[in-house]
Amino acid sequence: MENERRLDLPNQTPRPEGELEELERVWATPRGWRIVTTVNNTEIGLLYIGIAFLFFLMAGVLALLMRTQLATSDNDFIGQELYNQMFTVHGTTMMFLFAVPAVEALGVMLLPQMLAARDLPFPRLSAFAIWAYVIGGLVFFSTILYDLAPAGGWFMYPPLTLKEYSPGDNADFWLLGIGFIEISAIAGAVEIVVGALRTRPPGMTLAKMPIFAWSMLIFASMIMFAFPAVILATMMLEIERSFGWPFFTAAKGGDSLLWQHLFWFFGHPEVYIIFLPAAGLVSMMVPTMARTPLVGYRLIVIALIATGFFSFGLWVHHMFTTGIPALSLAFFSAASMAVAIPSGIQVFSWIATIAASREKFRITTPSLFILGFLFIFTIGGLTGVMVAMVPFDFQVHDTYFVVAHFHYVLVGGMVFPLFATFYYWMPMASRNMLSERLGRWVFWLMFAGFNIAFFPMHLTGLLGMPRRVWTYPGELGWDTLNMISTIGSYILGAGVLLFVIDLIRRFRPGRGGPENPWQAGTLEWLPNDVYSTRSIPLVTSREPIWDQPNLADDVREGRYYLPNAPTGGRETIVTSPIDAKPQYVIRMPGSAWSPFLAAIFTAAFFLLLTVKFVTIALVCGVLAIAFCLVWTWPLDHGPSRGPVDIGGGISLPTYMSGPTSHSWWAMVVLMFVAGSLYLSYVFSYLFLWTVSPEVWSPTGSPALPGLPWPAASALLLLAGSALIFLADRLLPQPGKGRVAVPVAIFLAVACLVGSLGVELAGHLRTGLAPTANSYGAMVYMAAALFGQMVFTLVIFGGYTIARYVAGKLDRERRVTFDNMRLLYYYTAAQSLFGLMLIHGFPRLVN
Amino acid sequence: MKAGNDAGPVAGAILYLLIGPIVWAAHLLLVYGPQSALCAFRITGTAAVDPWLISVLVAGVTVIAMAAVGLTLWRPRRMARLFRFNAASDGDRSFVISVMRILGVLSLFGIAWAGATTLLLDPCAQLR
């Protein structure tokens, strides 16, 4: 019977000699200094989570200093200006440098393991994103040491952050530094979306996908749509600070509320961007501890999707007191209360799973942190419903009640699950587990400390203590509550310190730790090494290890798919996004210096620009682009290797172009990001027109250029698109060449440049200046966004031509061309829409 | 297990799964955008639209959005054909259909809740 079952498996044993050794060689970790060249998800994921945790510790120290300052009234332990910098850096670091990167790091580290993929599909992109974050983040945080840190709060509201009220480079560090780190987060999101949809193991349909993969898919999709809004906002604020384009200056038709809209369109989903992956982790741990499948898997998927959507309809609840009409507030109040329903579904599913436990629910350190999370997050959710009600929000807005609420949501909803994760998944990264005995101390110190620190803040808020004050007078009755909060914060800090001590004692990176110590049912607990699992299993249920008792042995022995490295390099199976049918084998790049160097020079470009070292910054920018090109040059390797046998009679191609290709998918994701950024621009344009129609052309600004100008610009866009279409048709068979192809691509790019030039020249001729008013600023901002795409396509077009000339582009080996073509068509479509908006809208409304 | 493609187009499957939330998002955009703009026009003097027209607009968009989601809940399989959604197995197909329907119910609730406010509030009244 056993032998018959094994005969059904895709590959037979014994496997050929040397096969495992080749896998180990192909996936070997670089040694010594070359470790910085590694791109493997397990190694860079560990670095990612390690640095994110370092930021958590450093921002935590700032919190303790602030609590020390607030312990008593009229305290002068920290001065006002430094206190302002501290709460800004604390909030910014916790949100941008700890919370989002930490969950993204867990995605990079755990997702391939949960999907039994050898790696995520773009390992060098992950490495680039992580190094960019490490360098940019450390430089940003260090500004607090040199009195260079921003002091405008983590949300950087203008007009406080405009040049007049925040001179110096402090605010610029936030705008350029954080804007740059957001780009790194988007790079990670592209990786996760494509990874979750395309690198699942055969048989793992959407209905069998682990909840963490669902939550990471939704997390990454939310990043795609939320982050562009704040990227546009940071671009506009930096441009206003540097060049005086008045997007946010009311005297020139701008509006500081525009910043709030853009910021919170990102900022509120950001809360769920942080929470949903943490909820996904909880949904993975609870069934293991309860030794029973998750109750309401389907409902949790629904809750994740619904939360992801609804979270985009809540942003105005951060602006209830800004004078928006009552009916508008009611729309967002309703949505803010509605989002509690999917969150509640998840909480009840976890409770039901615990209640349905086959045996007694195991109380381990991860379980304790999960129970702590349930308690704290539920309280945070309830106060969230309170502040979703407009009259109550009016009373507690900008008070410590809000500080208490969001710490209950964020620390409860993210930090406690993260600590549970550290204890639970430690064998993925370390040879030793962490101490269960110390873990319980860590939990109780953190749980007690957190509640002692933050619960009294509800009361200090209700008593009227405002946020962001560096001290307070003694006669207001806030002293005792503040002292209790400070004591609680030190207890919380002691818990974290104990964790760090345990980490130093027990954490030893490497393989060889206990195998599936919790007897979990999901794929990351299969025997694995740097190459992930020896073979990629066929998945038939949601808890394969529970339902297929011999799965671990069969996978380890190589009886499932792709037990070897048939192309002699790194590879994994790409499956169809819904039914998870094998489609092709993706050949992935190995370790390289180029992503690391590209990240260093990208970071240098942004940071040097911040301190106005423009020439050196530009040199760094050029080097960053050069290293990106070096990194991508070998990726489009073509179909020369031919199909390979992965077992079970399945032979798969090793190259794929067109809509099935993973790089096509990545480009589509990137186009969604670009589209989201552009829609944020359209919103901004219409918003400012609504607020200040008097500065719009032709009454408040020079008349628009005559229609021949936009018509010429549009014709150039259409001509360029036609040339790209022609180049596609003319791509030759392998080994043949046609000079018309590079000429067509060159002319198409020239058309784009010409179109931008015509558009700019038309406005310049009218005498419109970007500094004159918000209308001028928006018109030239449209050109700036168009120029950004043109710049990208000039490089991309040149790169495509270079590949053609080098004989690396033809009708079959065409992924590079396909991506360039997609981006070109997108740019042309966006720019045509932009021409209609800029030249049509003012004419229409007049 | 055989190599191959999904039973239907991916974009259609994603759109089908997300009909409810997409209509909810469109509803929010279509009630909040025009309502806040028209109220702003009253303040800037750009245009003076009667407030009751704004209320009618909000109510109308709400009814249309609810009808759209209601249709998908009532005829899920017909909508599946419209979006060319299909799945390899009955289990996966019923999973996606049930996710779509419950998301639709949640969205219907969100649309009704937001839209109902127009029955209670003056569309351009300020709270301060």
Residue type, position A151, single letter:
A
Q: Give the whole-number percent of chain A exceeding pLDDT 90.
A: 90
The CATH H-level superfamily of A680-845 is: Cytochrome c oxidase, subunit III, four-helix bundle (1.20.120.80)
Nearest to A379 by CA among A353, A335, A412: A412
Q: Write down the pTM of the prediction.
A: 0.95
Residue among B31, B88, B99 minimizing CB distance to A302: B99
pLDDT tens-digit series, residues A354-373: 999 878 889 999 999 999 99
Q: Which run of H or E residues covers position A529?
A: strand A528-529
Do residue B106 and residue A323 have CB atoms under 8 angstroms apart?
A: no
B125 contacts in chain A (CB < 8 Å):
325-327
- Side-chain-facing half-sphere of A700: CA atoms under 13 Å: 14
Residue type, position A170, single letter:
N
The residue in chain B having the minimum alpha-carbon distance to the alpha carbon of residue A322 is: B128
Q: Which run of H or E residues covers position A533?
A: strand A532-533
Nearest CA-CA distance, residue B73 and chain A, Å: 15
**pLDDT for residue A7:** 61
Q: Any idea what DSSP says for residue A477? A: S
pLDDT tens-digit series, residues A470-496: 999 999 999 999 999 999 999 999 999
Do residue B113 and residue A310 have CB atoms under 8 angstroms apart?
A: no
Given CB atoms, is A205 within the 8 Å cutoff of chain B? Answer: yes
Place of tokens 């609504």: A690
What is the token pair recorded at A684? Answer: 């901004």
Residue among B17, B98, B125 minimizing CB distance to A325: B125
Q: Give the whole-number percent of chain A exceeding pLDDT 70.
A: 99
Given CB atoms, is A578 within the 8 Å cutoff of chain B? Answer: yes
Do residue A650 and residue B31 have CB atoms under 8 angstroms apart?
A: no
**pLDDT for residue A641:** 87
Residue among A206, A330, A650 minimizing CB distance to B3: A650
ipTM field: 0.94
**pLDDT for residue A2:** 55
Nearest CA-CA distance, residue A113 and chain B, Å: 21
Instruction: Quote the Cα angle for A319-A322-A324, to 5°.
Output: 90
> pLDDT band for position A226 (50/70/90)?
very high
Do residue A651 and residue B40 have CB atoms under 8 angstroms apart?
A: no
pLDDT tens-digit series, residues B9-20: 889 999 999 999
Nearest CA-CA distance, residue B69 and chain A, Å: 15
Nearest to A569 by CA among A655, A663, A665, A658: A655
Do residue B126 and residue A326 have CB atoms under 8 angstroms apart?
A: yes
Task: Give whole-number Cα distances, A472 to A188, A457, A467, A468, in Å.
Answer: 43, 14, 11, 11
Place of tokens 């942080």: A274
State yes or no: pLDDT of A179 exceeds 60: yes
Peptide bond into A732 cis (omega under 30): no
> What is the rounded distance in angstroms from the CA atom of residue A557 to the CA atom of residue A552?
9
pLDDT tens-digit series, residues A824-840: 999 999 999 999 999 99
Q: Which of B57, B106, B121 to mutate to test the interface with A (most CBs of A within 10 A)?
A: B106
**pLDDT for residue B88:** 78
Given CB atoms, is A80 within the 8 Å cutoff of chain B? Answer: no
A10 contacts in chain B (CB < 8 Å):
1
> What is the rounded distance in angstroms from the CA atom of residue A20 to the CA atom of residue A14?
12
**Residue A467: Cβ within 10 Å count:** 15
Q: Is A807 exposed, middle or buried (0-12, 13-18, 19+ CB in 10 A)?
A: exposed
DSSP labels, A22-79: HHHHHTPPPPGGGGGG---HHHHHHHHHHHHHHHHHHHHHHHHHHHHHHSSTT--SS-
> What is the rounded distance in angstroms from the CA atom of residue A293 to the CA atom of residue A358?
10
Q: What average pLDDT does this structure show over A585-598?
A: 95
**Residue A549: Cβ within 10 Å count:** 9
Do residue B37 and residue A686 have CB atoms under 8 angstroms apart?
A: yes
State yes or no: pLDDT of B91 exceeds 90: no
Evaluate whether A278 touches A284 at the Cβ level (below 8 Å): no
Q: What average pLDDT does this structure show over B69-74?
A: 94
Residues 6+ away with beta carbon under 8 Å from A530: A24, A27, A28, A29, A40, A42, A43, A511
**pLDDT for residue A68:** 98
Please report the residues numbered 484 through 523 in chain A whose beta carbons come closer than 8 angstroms to any beta carbon of chain B. none
> What is the rounded distance in angstroms from the CA atom of residue A17 to the CA atom of residue A319?
66
Q: Using CA atoms of A561, A563, A564, A565 in order, give the dihedral in degrees to the nearest 10.
A: 50
> What is the rounded distance in angstroms from the CA atom of residue A271 to the CA atom of residue A219?
11
B88 contacts in chain A (CB < 8 Å):
205, 578-579, 581
> What is the rounded distance in angstroms from the CA atom of residue A119 to the CA atom of residue A588?
8
Q: Which run of H or E residues covers position A831?
A: helix A815-835
**3-state SS, residue A518:** coil
Residue among B40, B117, B123 minimizing CB distance to A691: B40
Place of tokens 């180049």: A727
Given CB atoms, is A202 within the 8 Å cutoff of chain B? Answer: yes
A298 contacts in chain B (CB < 8 Å):
95, 98-99, 102
Q: Is A341 exposed, middle or buried (0-12, 13-18, 19+ CB in 10 A)?
A: middle
**pLDDT for residue B3:** 80
What is the token pair recorded at A109? Answer: 């580290």
A390 contacts in chain B (CB < 8 Å):
127
Residue among B21, B44, B113 minimizing CB distance to A305: B21
A577 contacts in chain B (CB < 8 Å):
6, 10
Q: What average pLDDT does this structure show over A571-582?
A: 95
Q: What average pLDDT does this structure show over A763-767?
A: 97
pLDDT tens-digit series, residues A31-73: 999 999 999 999 999 999 999 999 999 999 999 999 999 999 9
Nearest CA-CA distance, residue B64 and chain A, Å: 17
For residue A650, the cross-strand partners are A647
Evaluate whether A77 touches A67 at the Cβ level (below 8 Å): no
Nearest CA-CA distance, residue B5 and chain A, Å: 6
3-state secondary structure A90-115: HHHHHHHHHHHHHHHHHHHHHHHHHC
* Residue-averaged pLDDT of chain A: 94
Do residue B96 and residue A207 have CB atoms under 8 angstroms apart?
A: yes
Task: Give whole-number Cα distances, A615 to A240, A605, A733, A795, in Å.
Answer: 21, 10, 44, 20
Residue type, position A140, single letter:
F
Please report the residues numbered 255 through 274 in chain A whose beta carbons come closer than 8 angstroms to any beta carbon of chain B. none
Q: What average pLDDT does this structure show over A448-463?
A: 98
Residue among A206, A299, A335 minimizing CB distance to B28: A335
Given CB atoms, is A328 within the 8 Å cutoff of chain B? Answer: yes
> What is the rounded distance in angstroms from the CA atom of residue A491 to the CA atom of residue A315?
34
Residues 6+ away with beta carbon under 8 Å from A233: A258, A259, A262, A263, A266, A680
Given CB atoms, is A330 within the 8 Å cutoff of chain B? Answer: yes
> pLDDT band for position A378 (50/70/90)?
very high
Given CB atoms, is A203 within the 8 Å cutoff of chain B? Answer: yes
Do residue A334 and residue B106 have CB atoms under 8 angstroms apart?
A: no
- Side-chain-facing half-sphere of A575: CA atoms under 13 Å: 29
Do residue B103 and residue A302 have CB atoms under 8 angstroms apart?
A: yes
> What is the rounded distance in angstroms from the CA atom of residue A149 to the CA atom of residue A89?
7
> What is the rounded distance in angstroms from the CA atom of residue A816 to the CA atom of residue A795?
12
Do residue B5 and residue A335 have CB atoms under 8 angstroms apart?
A: no
B95 contacts in chain A (CB < 8 Å):
206-207, 298
The residue in chain A having the minimum alpha-carbon distance to the alpha carbon of residue B14 is: A578
Residues 6+ away with beta carbon under 8 Å from A388: A317, A333, A336, A337, A340
Tell me the count of A-B CB pairs closer than 8 A.
Answer: 160
**pLDDT for residue A148:** 93
pLDDT tens-digit series, residues A86-117: 999 999 999 999 999 999 999 999 999 999 99
> pLDDT band for position A640 (50/70/90)?
confident
Do residue B127 and residue A205 have CB atoms under 8 angstroms apart?
A: no
pLDDT tens-digit series, residues A507-546: 998 877 888 999 999 999 999 888 999 999 999 999 999 9
Nearest to A560 by CA among A582, A539, A537: A537
For residue A575, the cross-strand partners are A582
State yes or no: pLDDT of A807 exceeds 60: yes
Phi/psi of residue A433, each to 5°? -75, 160
Do residue B113 and residue A338 have CB atoms under 8 angstroms apart?
A: yes
Nearest to A353 by CA among A417, A283, A455: A283
Phi/psi of residue A511, each to 5°? -90, 175
B41 contacts in chain A (CB < 8 Å):
690
Do residue B28 and residue A313 have CB atoms under 8 angstroms apart?
A: yes
Q: Any idea what DSSP says for residue A773? A: -
Do residue A323 and residue B128 have CB atoms under 8 angstroms apart?
A: yes
Residue among A335, A690, A692 minimizing CB distance to B114: A335
Nearest to B110 by CA among B14, B31, B17, B13: B31
Nearest to A611 by CA among A21, A116, A146: A146
Please report the residues numbered 207 through 246 in chain A whose beta carbons come closer than 8 angstroms to any beta carbon of chain B. 207
> What is the rounded distance in angstroms from the CA atom of residue A338 to the CA atom of residue A336?
5
pLDDT tens-digit series, residues A687-713: 999 999 999 999 999 999 999 999 999
Do residue A582 and residue B103 have CB atoms under 8 angstroms apart?
A: no
Residues 6+ away with beta carbon under 8 Å from A17: none
Per-domain residue ranges of chain B: 51-120
What is the token pair recorded at A457? Answer: 């803040």
Please report the residues numbered 5 through 24 in chain A whose beta carbons come closer than 8 angstroms to any beta carbon of chain B. 10
The residue in chain B having the minimum alpha-carbon distance to the alpha carbon of residue A582 is: B3
The residue in chain A having the minimum alpha-carbon distance to the alpha carbon of residue B9 is: A578
Residue among B10, B21, B124 minimizing CB distance to A306: B21
Evaluate whether A118 touches A587 at the Cβ level (below 8 Å): no
